[in-house]
Amino acid sequence: MSAITNNKQVPAWLSLGERRALRRRAKRSSGHLHRSNVTAYLMIAPMVILLAIFVIYPLGYAFWLSGHRISFYKPAVWVGLDFYRYVLSDPRFWHSLRVGLTYSAMTVPVGLFLALLLASFIKILSTSLASILKVTVYIPAVVASVLTANIFVLVYQDAGIANTIVGHLGFGPVVWLNDPSIALAAIAVPGVWLGFGISTLILLAAMLDIPSSYYESASLDGANAFQTMWYITLPLLRNVFVFLGVTGFTISLQEFLLPLIMTNGGPVDATLTPNLFIINSFRDSTPYATSFSLAAALLLFIVLGAISLLIFKAISSVKAVDG
């Protein structure tokens, strides 16, 4: 017999003892539910408090500050949305967004494709070889971006490895970092190298979590490797691709160390990413550079949120079918 809440009437045909027992049971059930709710709230309270202190409050304060004309020598003056209009009317801001989106389009899909190929290859190796390759492929993830940028500057020099390779192919020396048409692509190469290792391990873990019975059934039906990949592996990795796509585009669109060190945003702003534009605006000698750069950073935050929503729409996540 189900518990009876305080709002429900006890059936009249029950005896007095049964009515009292039902009321006591309903009261105990209500108290247990209340204690469970309190326990749940207490468990999430620390995270909510930390989120409010370190995320919600700073973000709200940043939006409030962006509506002021900030000067280190004068009191802040409320100007509303003026600095947002200044940023949106600056052609270099829109150019930096195009550069950032182009860089993301170069690095994220290529990195995911290479990671998928490498993860598929590691999956079929023996345990010892797979362990060695997993350690090897993770090395770029622990290498500092500053070190990577300096290494690839040497690679792209006139007598570097890149020009040595193209020289053997019959091409003359290429000015990789001084040609506006290829400078961004040259920076995208170390960007892919830095990120695809951890993507490979995440994809490999997800592939190993797919039940082997799916592949056995496909093999019995005569499916080849391509059909197995297309109809089994890729659909079951959809949630992982959503995660890697969102995080990859978010990180790549905020890249600034590689272009800062390798080209300083040049030549002729060909590698001027949004964060590099914001940093250069903050270092500008104009009186209200702080307010301008803050407004630009918050607009970039809105752009990142919009792109994340688009990726979620393009690659809708699904619930796990099997575990």
pLDDT in tens, the chain (323 residues): 444 444 455 555 556 666 666 666 766 666 555 666 777 788 888 899 999 999 899 989 888 988 888 877 778 888 888 899 999 999 999 999 999 999 999 999 999 999 999 999 998 888 888 888 888 888 888 888 899 999 999 999 988 899 999 888 888 788 999 999 999 999 999 999 998 889 999 999 999 998 888 888 888 888 888 889 888 889 899 889 988 988 999 999 999 999 999 999 889 999 999 999 999 988 887 778 888 999 999 999 998 888 888 877 777 665 555 44
On whether the CB atoms of residues 177 and 156 are closer than 8 A, the answer is yes
Burial class (CB in 10 A: 0-12, 13-18, 19+), 232: middle
DSSP state for residue 193 in the 8-state scheme: H
Query: Which residues are CB-contacts of 258 (< 8 A; sequence separation ≥ 6)?
Result: 145, 148, 149, 187, 190, 191
Q: Tell me the β-bridge partners of 68.
A: 78
- CA separation, residue 260 to residues 66, 138, 152 (Å): 25, 25, 13
CA distance 96 to 83: 17
CA distance 320 to 323: 7
In three-state secondary structure terms, 319 is coil
CA distance 108 to 247: 9
Amino acid identity for residue 69 in this structure: R
- In whole angstroms, what separates CA 241 from the centre of its chain? 11
CA distance 304 to 312: 12
Q: Ramachandran region of residue 265, left (φ > 0), alpha (ψ -120 to 50) or beta?
A: left
